[in-house]
């Protein structure tokens, strides 16, 4: 059944080098409590307080998009990472228990997501979305689904490596979308859960949340998350 892994997956999270990352601390607490898994892998930078997690160092000398792609490739090429893993970001919070594993979730057709961003922004992210859609069209997928959600994504190492190789000429490859499409993941459509601003409204009953540094530190959504996970987990050596 797509998205429900038969064996416990590893958790893989690319981590950028920043002096303080309290979003990651509380994200890890949420995963430890609510996502059944085998091991946690941080790829890139390892914060001082993170204990008991596996670490794959990577060089972070490119754009944020290049750095995360390099991190995902490093995880897929590492022999000890589970063949099926959950790909996360350091600002993904899993608010509810998932005893049966992580389902596959998508955002709907890329063409609709592209239209949404075209009316609000431009730049590398939108350009990468269009280039990824063109790549998928060349491969026979004229109306792909977007998997660019701020929620965990079930990934197969070999399949993701194939995607990264196919898209190596796309500077801002939407690798989640390319992988979800080429792996024929399907899944359930939801709205994205990212809360961009400190005064942004959010569904308190949502099983997933994601924040920006400001909305986490100063917004009601951040207070809600910190209240949900007040205690250190097994991956922490100390409290803030």
CATH code for position 189 = 3.90.550
Q: Does a structural domain hold residue 120?
A: yes
Q: Is position 168 within any domain?
A: yes
Are 31 and 40 a contacting pair, CB within 8 Å? yes
DSSP per-residue letters across 130-177: HHHHHHHHHTT-SSPEE---SS-EEEEHHHHHHHHHHTTT-TT--HHH
Q: How does 149-173 read in b/e, with b if 16+ C-beta sit within 10 Å?
A: bbbbbbbbbebbbbbbebbeebebb
Asked if residue 236 is part of any domain, the answer here is: no
Torsion of CA 117, 121, 124, 127, to 10 degrees: 50
* Domain annotation covers residue 1: no
User: Cα separation of 146 and 19, whole Å?
Assistant: 32
Per-residue model confidence (pLDDT) at position 92: 98
Q: What is the pLDDT of residue 5?
A: 41
Name 11's Cβ contacts closer than 8 Å, sequence gap at least 6. Answer: 31, 35, 37, 39, 40, 41, 85, 86, 88, 152
Residue written as token pair 């959010």: 202
- The structure tokens listed for 32 are 């430890």
Domain count, the chain: 1
Name residues of the chain where pLDDT drops below 50: 1-5, 239-240
* Residue of 35, 5, 25 whose CA lies nearest to 236: 25
Q: Look at residue 3 in the predicted model and tell me its pLDDT.
A: 41
Structure pTM? 0.93
Note the pLDDT tens digit of each residue in 68-118.
999 999 999 999 999 999 999 999 999 999 999 999 999 999 999 999 998
In a domain, 188, yes or no: yes
Q: How far apart are CA 193 and CA 206, in angstroms?
A: 8
């Amino acid at each position: 059944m797509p998205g429900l892994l038969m064996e416990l997956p590893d958790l893989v999270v690319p981590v950028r080098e920043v002096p303080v990352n309290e979003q990651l601390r509380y994200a890890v607490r949420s995963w430890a409590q609510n996502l059944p898994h085998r091991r946690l892998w941080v790829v890139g930078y390892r914060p001082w307080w993170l204990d008991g997690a596996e670490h794959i160092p990577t060089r972070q000398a490119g754009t944020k998009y290049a750095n995360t792609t390099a991190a995902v490739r490093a995880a897929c090429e590492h022999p000890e990472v589970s063949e099926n893993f959950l790909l996360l970001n350091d600002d993904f919070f899993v608010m509810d228990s998932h005893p049966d594993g992580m389902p596959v979730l998508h955002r709907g057709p890329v063409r609709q997501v592209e239209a949404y961003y075209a009316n609000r922004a431009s730049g590398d992210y939108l350009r990468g979305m269009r280039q990824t859609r063109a790549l998928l069209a060349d491969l026979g997928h004229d109306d792909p689904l977007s998997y660019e959600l701020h929620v965990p994504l079930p990934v197969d190492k070999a399949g993701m490596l194939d995607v990264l190789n196919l898209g190596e000429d796309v500077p801002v490859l939407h690798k989640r979308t390319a992988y979800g499409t080429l792996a024929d993941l399907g899944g359930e459509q939801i709205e994205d859960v990212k809360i961009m601003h400190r005064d942004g409204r959010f569904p308190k009953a949502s099983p997933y949340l994601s924040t920006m540094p400001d909305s986490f530190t100063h917004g009601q959504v951040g207070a809600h998350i910190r209240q949900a996970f007040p205690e250190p987990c097994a991956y922490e050596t100390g409290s803030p």
